[in-house]
Amino acid sequence: MKKYLIVVAGGKGVRMGGSVPKQFLSVKGKPVLMRTLEAFYSWDKGMELIVVLPEEQQSCWKHLCAEHGFHVPHTVASGGETRFHSVKNGLELIPGEEGMVGVHDGVRPFVSAEVIAECYRQAESREAVVPVIDVVETVRRLLPDGGSETVPRSDYRLVQTPQVFAVKLLKQAYAQDYVPQFTDDASVVEALGHPVYLVPGNRENIKLTTPFDLKMAEALIKD
């Protein structure tokens, strides 16, 4: 079955404290986004990769690819006003309604091959699959009166990417009008009334958002 991946890479790097978009930041000599694409290309070289970037960042990406001799095949789509619109633009580059499509954060370069494989495998029958990890910290819920209370952490999971779906289902979901409650692809699919299934993620699959995350990334890279 044909496999697609939409990599959403529209970050501005504000929380990193710099002007370089976080997906272009170098980790041990290579931009984060390149490491992310390599993780999927290494798993399946026949997968079609679509990178969604703001138009104003595309020339920089092209320059980085030339500078680093980066030759992983991929297509670039233009980012939209929100993540929802960016994914929708990426979906428009997928012909027809056959196959499976994952949506992945461009700044999650440490997803394991095992997690990628399991997400796509499960999605073939379940059509909507997301990787998750356990909550290990104590969780407190804020109350309207300004107080807070502990909630059972076993009732919650932290969601990662890639979130993988049947192409037909995800296209149907993204035909809906945008609402602010759409925080990820699973929430868009759930709005159709379709169940979303969970598979175990890998804890190393962190989203690189802060300077501390970059330090973690340096430690995780063995090459």
CATH number of residue 14's parent domain: 3.90.550.10
pTM, 2 dp: 0.94
What integer pLDDT is reported at residue 223 of this predicted model?
Answer: 63
Q: Which position has the token pair 């952490």?
A: 153
Location of structure tokens 């929100």: 82
State the total domains in the chain.
1
Q: What is the pLDDT of residue 20?
A: 81
* Containing structural domain, residue 26: 3-220
pLDDT of residue 167: 98
Q: What is the pLDDT of residue 19?
A: 72
pLDDT number for residue 14:
43
Cα→Cα distances 128→109, 123, 170, Å: 22, 6, 9
pLDDT tens, per residue, the chain with 223 residues: 899 999 999 755 444 445 788 999 999 999 999 999 999 999 999 999 999 999 999 999 999 999 999 999 999 999 999 999 999 999 999 999 999 999 999 999 999 999 999 999 999 999 999 999 999 999 999 999 999 999 999 999 999 999 999 999 999 999 999 999 999 999 999 999 999 999 999 999 999 999 999 999 999 997 6
Distance CA 165, CA 167 (A): 6
| CA distances for 12 relative to 54, 170, 214, angstroms | 10, 26, 15
Residue type, 126: R
Q: Rounded distance, CA 89 to CA 223, Å?
A: 34
pLDDT tens, 141-153?
999 999 999 999 9
Q: What is the predicted pLDDT for the residue at 10?
A: 76
One DSSP character per residue, 95-137 reads: -SS-SEEEEEETT-TT--HHHHHHHHHHHHHHSEEEEEEE--S
